[in-house]
A and B are shown apart, each in its own frame.
Chain A
Amino acid sequence: MMNPGLTIAAPVVSSVAARICAGIGVLSLVAGAILSPASVWPYLLLLSYAMIGLGLGAAAFIALQYIVGSGWSAAFRRVPEAMIAAMPLGFVGLWIVFLAHPSTYPWYGVSHDAAPGVAWFKHAWLSWPFFLVRAAVYMVIWEAFAFAMIRHSRRQDATGDVSHTKSNIHLSAGFLAAFGITSFLASVDWIMSLKPDWYSTMFGWYNFAGMFESALAVIILMTIWLERRGQFRGVINEAHLYDLGKLLFAFSTFWMYLWFSQYMLIWYSNIPEETVYFTARLRGWWLPLSIASILLNWIVPFVALMSQPVKRNAGALAKVAIVVLVGRWLDLYVMIFPSQTPGGPVFGVWEAGMTIGTIAAFLIVVFAALNRAPLVPMGDPYIRESLHHH
């Protein structure tokens, strides 16, 4: 059963090219912060939030697998485990925005005394020190649970002890409960408060849907890539891809469901302080971007993944996953930028450099994390079931 060929280390992607790209990203940030601060700071927020979403979504994926007792995903669990390493990267970016350019948030430093007695809760909630403390608390909670879960998973490699799986089931339950509240609040704090007079009760779920959809897309891409390179040969088969494809299909539709739920609630009640969000996004250049976001996040994956053969075809599934990732980027762009650059979308050379740098940094840290443990968790009690998944 123990096939030594299954546990060879993943390839190192911290090549010179990746490091140069990451350097380009840092230089673009510095140059852009001086030359074009209005768009570069919110763009750093976007990239950091997307990065956190990939790590957090991967942690939620692992926790879901543990808590439902599913065996099929054990074979490639090291991929989402490695993706969690991208989370601190996003934390750093977010803290740079908070500390270097807090006025990204229009409520920063603004006195709310003009409306006494009306918005006392919002006033208290959106106070800068409380905002920073909350951000730190979310990050510590996520990182602590993720760290503990990964540690149990890696220790199990040596011992094969089922007690690690049991501990992870308990940790997963705690994590998901904490995650449900904190991920919602984090999206409200970090993204929704960019327009502090606007609110939507659907916003947190809508953000969760996009986060989970993008994390699934990256899990799919990395799994297929490792299979193509040979590291996952004999480990991953069509049935794994089929199930991952089904999840991507489902969460893509879930994203649309929540997008529309938010839209319809606001459209129906037609209250100006709520509709202001969509009126900004359905005018000028924002309209084609909003439509493109729906196209990439839902229509393309929905139509493409409807048939069974496509979900089982690695090449086709990977293409859909890339479309979904571009869609996630566009979704966040349309979420963040209309309040920052109201005149119209801004995307320049600094943003392009930061995007390249972020992708490179993601690959460097995630593949470094992938190298820190055997690629297939052979000590997992479900590993045989997963390797024979059909």
Chain B
Amino acid sequence: MSNRYVVSLFENEHDLLEAVRTARERKFTIVDVHTPYAVHGLDAAMGARPSWMSWACAAFGLTGVTTMMAFQYWAAAVDWPVNVGGKPWNSIPAYVPVTFEAMVFAAGLGMVLTFFLACRLYPGRRARVPDPRVTDDRFAIVLEEADAAFDLDDVRRLFGRLGAVEVREHVSEVAP
């Protein structure tokens, strides 16, 4: 592990995507890429693995479905059976709308919590960004100076040609 990092700032997503692809081709170690908004195709360009989050979403949704189905069955057919228009106590069509809403609610809420957990975001957590402008109008690539072959001037020239507006070195124990 090195404690030297290079932060390169770009002005738009097209330059950024091109630079990320080039960095991958050149076998640079990309620590992270910071953008003000979600950039389409960035995960593919970074070579990120497919997210496991959709599986978590499916699990939360199914949890909502089974919980709500079970609850409605218990409430309508076991605990307090009420004759509604002569229909059977256990009438599945009547359960569907609430079950659907419970599924959406469980999946939505569960995904927010999962996201916070996965990103280790909690109240009072200090944001760690390479540059405050990545929350506004700048796109940043953070590279690690992984080995002795890493040439800062080379990166400066390369990214400069691809539209980087700033390339600077960052020395710290943790990645910016």
* A residues adjacent to B (C-beta < 8 A): 239, 260, 263-264, 267-268, 270, 308, 390
Name which residue of chain A comes closest to B50, CB basis.
A308
- Chain B contributes a number of interface residues (CB within 8 A of A) equal to 11
Residue from A260, A308, A390 in contact with B96 in the complex, judged by beta carbons closer than 8 Å = A260
Complex: A264 Cα to B92 Cα, angstroms = 10
> Contact: B85 with A264, CB < 8 Å?
no
> Contact: A390 with B97, CB < 8 Å?
no
> Contact: B93 with A268, CB < 8 Å?
yes
Residues on A with C-beta less than 8 A from B96 are: 260, 264
Residues on A with C-beta less than 8 A from B40 are: 239, 390
Residues on B with C-beta less than 8 A from A270 are: 85-87
B94 at the interface (CB under 8 A from A): yes
Complex: A308 Cα to B43 Cα, angstroms = 14
Complex: A263 Cα to B41 Cα, angstroms = 41
> Contact: B93 with A264, CB < 8 Å?
yes
Complex: A347 Cα to B2 Cα, angstroms = 74
Return 19 A-B CB contacts under 8 Å, by A number.
A239-B40, A239-B41, A260-B96, A263-B93, A264-B93, A264-B94, A264-B96, A264-B97, A267-B93, A268-B85, A268-B93, A268-B94, A270-B85, A270-B86, A270-B87, A308-B50, A390-B17, A390-B40, A390-B41
Known: A239-B40, A268-B94, A390-B17. 16 other contacts (CB 8 A): A239-B41, A260-B96, A263-B93, A264-B93, A264-B94, A264-B96, A264-B97, A267-B93, A268-B85, A268-B93, A270-B85, A270-B86, A270-B87, A308-B50, A390-B40, A390-B41
Residues on A with C-beta less than 8 A from B93 are: 263-264, 267-268
Interface flags, B81-121, vs A, CB<8A=1, else 0: 00001110000011011000000000000000000000000
Complex: A145 Cα to B94 Cα, angstroms = 42
* B residues adjacent to A (C-beta < 8 A): 17, 40-41, 50, 85-87, 93-94, 96-97
Complex: A279 Cα to B112 Cα, angstroms = 44
Residues on B with C-beta less than 8 A from A239 are: 40-41
Residues on B with C-beta less than 8 A from A308 are: 50
Max count, chain B CB within 10 A of own CB: residue among A268, A270, A308, A390:
A390
Name which residue of chain A comes closest to B39, CB basis.
A390
Chain A: minimal CB distance from B59 (Å) = 14
Chain B: minimal CB distance from A278 (Å) = 11
Complex: A260 Cα to B96 Cα, angstroms = 9
Chain B: minimal CB distance from A208 (Å) = 20
A-B pairs, top 8 by smallest CB distance, nearest first, are A390-B41, A264-B93, A267-B93, A390-B40, A270-B85, A260-B96, A264-B96, A268-B94
Residues on B with C-beta less than 8 A from A260 are: 96
Residues on A with C-beta less than 8 A from B86 are: 270
Chain A: minimal CB distance from B23 (Å) = 18
Chain B: minimal CB distance from A139 (Å) = 37
Residues on B with C-beta less than 8 A from A263 are: 93
Residues on A with C-beta less than 8 A from B97 are: 264
Name which residue of chain B comes closest to A308, CB basis.
B50
Complex: A270 Cα to B17 Cα, angstroms = 58
Chain B: minimal CB distance from A98 (Å) = 37
Complex: A208 Cα to B50 Cα, angstroms = 35
Residues on A with C-beta less than 8 A from B94 are: 264, 268
Chain B: minimal CB distance from A75 (Å) = 16
Residues on B with C-beta less than 8 A from A264 are: 93-94, 96-97
Name which residue of chain B comes closest to A261, CB basis.
B97
Complex: A268 Cα to B95 Cα, angstroms = 11
Complex: A260 Cα to B94 Cα, angstroms = 11
Complex: A164 Cα to B27 Cα, angstroms = 47
Complex: A239 Cα to B97 Cα, angstroms = 33
